[in-house]
Amino acid sequence: MPELRKDPIHDRWVIISTERGRRPSDFVTEERKPVGGFCPLCEGNEDKTPPEIMAFRDGTRPDTPGWSLRVVSNKFPALRIEGNLDREGEGIYDKMNGLGAHEVIIETPLHHETLATLPVKTVENVLWAYRQRIVDLRRDSRLRYVLVFKNHGQAAGASLEHSHSQIIALPIVPKTVAEEVEGAKIYFRYKDRCVFCDIVRQELQQKSRVISENEGFLSVAPFASRFPFEAWVLPKKHYPRFEHMETFRYGQAAQILSETLRRMNRVLRDPPYNYVLHTSSFLESAIDDYHWHFEIMPKLTRVAGFEWGTGFYINPTPPEEAAQYLREVNSDGSQL
Amino acid sequence: MPELRKDPIHDRWVIISTERGRRPSDFVTEERKPVGGFCPLCEGNEDKTPPEIMAFRDGTRPDTPGWSLRVVSNKFPALRIEGNLDREGEGIYDKMNGLGAHEVIIETPLHHETLATLPVKTVENVLWAYRQRIVDLRRDSRLRYVLVFKNHGQAAGASLEHSHSQIIALPIVPKTVAEEVEGAKIYFRYKDRCVFCDIVRQELQQKSRVISENEGFLSVAPFASRFPFEAWVLPKKHYPRFEHMETFRYGQAAQILSETLRRMNRVLRDPPYNYVLHTSSFLESAIDDYHWHFEIMPKLTRVAGFEWGTGFYINPTPPEEAAQYLREVNSDGSQL
C-alpha cells in the first residue's frame, strides 16, 4: 500500500509510492523512450489496460474496439482505492495509507492526434468524461478532492505518447488548492466580490492579456504568469464547480480550450505542457468566492533552485507579449 | 527595469524579467548547449564577467588570475540593485520594480571540478563566501531576504557548466520561506520546541533516514521527501541563521555537505541537483522557532501536472531506502 506522509513544517503531503519503488540504477539508466513502438492506449489493445471504468461507445462491448474515449485505472497507480486511511503518528511525524483513485482518460483511439489537432467535439467529450468521473468519485465519502490534469510531451512528464489525461482523487485537500481557496476567500471578505470575476472583468477591459474569447469563456495570459506563455481558461459567469454548469457551457469551454491549445501549438510548435483543472473541493459549501478554471503551463524553461527555494518565479516573457503572439497567429498557422 | 508582480489569489510574486525577454523562437530553437567551448568563469577570463564583488586571492589584483573563489554580479540579472521599489496598483493587481541583487559565486578556478570532487576546504570557502555576502546584503534596508542556491547540471537549470552558486536578494520575503517560518512558529507555539530540533532528535534516534553525521551536523533523507534521494543538511545545535554560527561550525557544515554530495555522486553518478540554503529572513527577530539548513534535491524525475496542481508530490523511492543506499556506499565508490 502506498503511504501518505506529511511534512511536519509545511502543510504538505507526499505520496511514497512503493508500487513504483525505484532503485538508483533505474534513474541512472533512464533514457528518452523511443517514439513509436507498441502503445497500450491504442484501439485494439484494450486488453493491455485495466478494465474500463467508463467509455463513449456506439453499442460495442466494454474493453473491445469501437470507442471514442475510454477511462481506465492507472496500471501503476500512485494511490489505491481499497482499504482504510489508518491515520497514525510516527514520533513527531504523521502518515496515513495512500488511499484514493488514479485513473487515465484515453482521449482518442488515434495515436497521432492531440487535443490541439482533434475536433472541438472530441475535446468536449473529454470535458464530459472529466465531469462524469468527478461526479462519480464525489460519492466516495473517504475522498476530499479530485484532481484532473494532463501532461503532454515527455518534458512535461508524459510517460505515454498517446493523448491522455489523468485523474487523482485524494483523501485530503492538497496544499495548493487549499491556499487558492483561502486566497479567494480573503479577497471576497475584503471586497465582497469573487476575485476571478474581477480578473475576468479587468482582462476584458484591458484586453492586452486576452488570448481568445467566446460567449461564455475567455483565455488569458495571467498578470503574474509564472511561466512563459502560461494561459488560464475561465468561464465569464461565476461557476464555483466544473461539474455544475448548464449543459451548453461544456461546448463553449471546449472551444476555448481547444483554440488556446491550437494557438500554442502554432506559436511554440507543439510545446510540452501541463494543464490542471482547478475546481472547488468536496468540502466547500461556499459558492460565492471560488470560480473554476483551467491553468495551462507550457514547459519551455527549466524550474531550478530559485523557484524551489522560494515559490517565486522568474518569467522571461511578459504575459502581454505572450498574449499578443498567441492572439495574432491564425489557427491555420499564418501570422495575421 | 524588471517588474515584480503579485498574483491576486495566492501570496505569490513573479519576476517579469524584461532583461531576458524571450520570443517564441528562442524557446523553439533551444538546444542542449555543447559541452566544452569558451567558459567565462574560468581563470584567465576575468574580463568576461562583471567586476568582482569579492574574491579569495593571495595578494593578486581584482579581476585578474590568482584566485580561489570569486563573486560577481550576474551578467543577465533577474533583478537590479539601482532604483526604488515604486509600489503601485494596476486595477486589482499589484506590482513593484524588480529591485534586488543577483550574484554568481564562482566556486573554483578549475572548470572540471564540482562540489562533490573538490576538497572539503574549498567547500568551506564557498560557505564563507555565502556568509560574507549575506552579511553584506543585510545592510541594504530595501532588502528582506537573501536566497542562496545552486543549480548543478543542465537538467537542474544550470546554464553554465563551471561550478557556481547564485545569490538573489529580494525586497520581499518569498512565499515558501514565509510558509516555512510560519509552520515552524505554529509548531513552536504548540510544543514550545523547535520543530527542526525535534527532527534532529528523532532522526538520530531512529537512524533509518540518516545519511551521514559528524559532531555538529547531520544529513538525512527527510520523512516526507518530495523527491527521490532528497537530502537535508542540518546543524545539530539550534542556529536560526546561517550567518550566526561560531567560526568552527562552517568547517563541520562543509564536511557533511561535501560528504553528502559525494555519496550522491557515487550512488546516482553525478546527478543534476538543486540545493537551497534555508535561513531566517532579515525581518525575523525570533530566534527560538527557526533553524537554518540546506535542502538538496536531485532532479531524477520530472515534476508534472499533478505536482504543479497540488503542491503534492509522488515520490517513488522511500527515504529510508534512499538513505540506506547513500549510507552504504563508500566515498571511494565501492558498496560496503
Q: Which of B151, B309, B315 sits opposite A147 (nearest CB)?
A: B309
Q: Give the burial class of A84: count Cβ atoms within 10 A of its Cβ; 0-12 exposed, 13-18 middle, 19 or more buried.
A: exposed
Give CA–CA dist A231/A326, Å, rounded: 10
- CA–CA distance, B313 with A17 (Å, rounded to integer): 10
CA angle A204, A207, A208 (to 5 degrees): 145
| Nearest chain A residue to B226, by CA | A14
Which of A206-210, B93-97, B127-131, B231-235 shows the lowest per-residue confidence on average (mean pLDDT)? B93-97
Q: What is the pLDDT of residues B126-174, one digit of tens each?
A: 999 999 999 999 999 899 999 999 999 988 888 889 999 999 999 988 8
**B285 vs A277, more confident:** A277
Q: pLDDT-based confidence at A33, cuts 50/70/90? A: low
Across the range A230-248, mean pLDDT stands at 96
Q: What are the CA-CA distances from residue A260 to residues A67, A237, A307 (Å)?
A: 26, 19, 26
Instruction: Determine the pLDDT at residue B308.
Output: 64
- Mutation choice for B interface testing from A74, A207, A312 by most B CBs within 10 A: A312
Per-residue pLDDT tens for A136-162?
999 998 999 999 999 999 888 888 899
Instruction: Give me the residue from A147, A313, A318 closest to B306, CB to CB.
Output: A147
Name the closest residue on chain B to residue A191, using Cα atoms. Answer: B92
Give the C-alpha distances (Å, rounded to integers) separating B163 from B34, B228, B231: 16, 23, 20
Mean pLDDT of B72-80: 90
pLDDT in tens, A121-137: 999 999 999 999 999 99
Interface test with A, best of B80, B230, B310 (most A CBs within 10 A): B310
Alpha-carbon distance of B174 to A312, in angstroms, equals: 6
Distance CA A250, CA A214 (A): 12
- A105 neighbourhood in chain B, CB within 8 Å: none
CB B168 within 8 A of CB B79: yes
pLDDT of res. A11: 80
d(CA B298, CA A41): 31
Average pLDDT over residues A13-33: 70
Residue among A168, A198, A308 minimizing CB distance to B92: A198
pLDDT tier, A336 (very low <50, low <70, confident <90, very high otherwise): very low
- How confident is the model at residue B177, as a pLDDT? 86
pLDDT at A274 over 70: yes
Residue A334 confidence (pLDDT) above 60: no
Closest-CA distance, A60 to chain B, in angstroms, reads 33
**CB of B147 within 8 A of CB of A310?**
yes
Where residue A335 falls among pLDDT bands split at 50, 70, 90? very low
> Is B155 within 8 Å of A302 when comparing Cβ atoms?
yes
DSSP for A111-166, written as a single string: TT--TTTS-HHHHHHHHHHHHHHHHHHHT-TT--EEEEEEEESGGGT-SSSS-EEE
**Band of the pLDDT at B21, cuts 50, 70, 90?**
low
The per-residue pLDDT for A332 is 58
For residues A39, A41, A42, A47, the Cα torsion angle rounded to the nearest 10 degrees is 100
CA atoms within 13 A on the CB side of B292: 21
- Beta strands A13-16 and B313-315 are parallel
Max mean pLDDT range (A247-251, B166-170, B264-268): A247-251
Which among B302, B314, B220, B309 is positioned nearest to B259, based on CA atoms?
B220
- C-alpha span between A286 and A185 (Å, rounded): 9
Active site residue B164: yes
Mutate to test the interface with B, among A159, A263, A279, A306 (most CBs of B within 10 A): A306
Q: Which residues in chain B have their CB less than 8 angstroms from residue A20's CB?
A: 314, 316
Cβ within 8 Å, pair B309-A278: yes
Closest by CA to B9, choosing from A257, A283, A194, is: A194
The helix or strand, by DSSP H or E, that contains position B199, with its residue range, turns out to be helix B195-206
Residue A211, pLDDT > 60, answer yes
Spatial neighbors of A140 by CB under 8 A, at least 6 apart, are A81, A101, A169
Do A308 and B297 lie within an 8 Å CB cutoff?
yes
Range scoring the smallest mean pLDDT among A18-32, A89-103, A315-329, B165-179? A18-32
Angle between helices A195-206 and A175-191 (to 10 degrees): 80
Q: Which of A187, A297, A304 sits opposite B8 (nearest CB)?
A: A187
Q: Which residue of A has its CA nearest to B77?
A: A314
A80-94, A222-236, B14-28, B39-53: segment of lowest average pLDDT: B14-28
Determine the pLDDT at residue A20. Answer: 64
Instruction: Name the residue with higher pLDDT: B309 or B215.
Output: B215
Chain B residues within an 8 Å CB radius of A23? 317, 321, 325
Instruction: Say if residue B232's pLDDT is above 80.
Output: yes
User: Quick one: pLDDT at residue B335?
Assistant: 45
Calculate Rg over the CA atoms of chain A: 20
3-state secondary structure of B111: coil
- Burial label for B42, CB within 10 Å (0-12, 13-18, 19+), is middle
Nearest-5° Cα angle at A184, A182 to A186: 70
